[in-house]
Structure 1
């Protein structure tokens, strides 16, 4: 069953949850072959019930100890633009659509999304453009995100501290 996993992390982003469960978005997801929608709603006040999308099977929860399994099982991850959530989805090798909260002041999230988009690692949009982005998205253009290389940072620290 093709699954979309949506995460807002630990934040409150009701607009994203409301947008992704709207009838317009549900119809687009169904038309693209998705059948299941798993929502991690965080601290939001809007928690959709299982019957909220006529065209999709819906499961919603606030938090889990780890969302790694939900990400691994997803055919598409839709995430808020928090760096942790983006890196977790990219590290899991899942196609990622980032939804930037354009109502935030001094929105550093947009900078992250733009850079990762320019490097062809993800697609991004806002809630107001989510339906159109889903209709037109081409996941085949996305490139895998390279794994981290923590030894580079460790070597830098060793040199800076005179250990090596």
Structure 2
């Protein structure tokens, strides 16, 4: 079973939920071999009921204490462009397609998606190009996102502040 997990984080992104459950997008997912779609809809206006769309089983929820298990079980993560959601999916080493909400003003999300895309870590699109992107996406061109190394920053601060290591 190939699973897609869609998350909008704690926001409201009804357009993404509507687009990903549209007939055209569902067909694009089925054509790529996906059989299950799990939606985290946040503060969205609707929570789609558990049903099947043309061979794709769909389940949805608003919030959970943690979505890490949903991400771990996914073969593909489709996410809004929030930094937390993007970093969690990349940290889990999942194929990530970020959908930027182009209706936002002063869209910092676009900057994040562009940078992570230019670093070859993810693909991104808007709701209007989601279906076409799903049809043509190729994750083989991407490179894994390596976890941060906070100890290097701590060592730098220790050195800059003249703090001697006790180890």
- Shorter-chain TM-score bucket reads over 0.9
How far 1:145 moved relative to its partner? Answer: 0.3
- The equivalent residue for 1:67 is 67
CA RMSD of aligned residues (A): 1.1
Deviation string for 1:100-132 (max 9, x for gaps)? Answer: 000111101101101111111000000000000
Corresponding residue of 1:159: 159
Q: Which has the larger radius of gyration?
A: 2
**Structure 2: how far apart are the matches of 1:61 and 1:135?**
26
Query: TM-score by structure 2 length?
Result: 0.94
Give the Cα separation in 2 of the matches to 1:4 and 1:146. Answer: 22
Contact 1:22 1:53 in 2 (8 A): no
Aligned twin of 2:141: 141
- C-alpha distance in 1 between matches for 2:52 and 2:81: 24
Runs of at least 5 residues in structure 2 that lack an aligned partner in the other structure: none
Post-superposition shift, 1:53? 2.4
Report the Cα offset of residue 147 of structure 1. Answer: 1.2
> What pairs with 1:1-164 in structure 2 (closer than 5 Å)?
1-51=1-51, 53-164=53-164
Farther-moved stretch of structure 1 (90-99 vs 46-55): 46-55
CA distance in 2, matches of 1:34, 1:14: 22
- TM norm structure 1: 0.96
Structure 1: give runs of 5+ residues left out of the alignment: none
Shift of 1:52: 6.1
Does structure 1 retain, via aligned residues, the 8 Å contact 2:16–2:99?
Answer: yes
Structure 1 SS opposite 2:88: helix
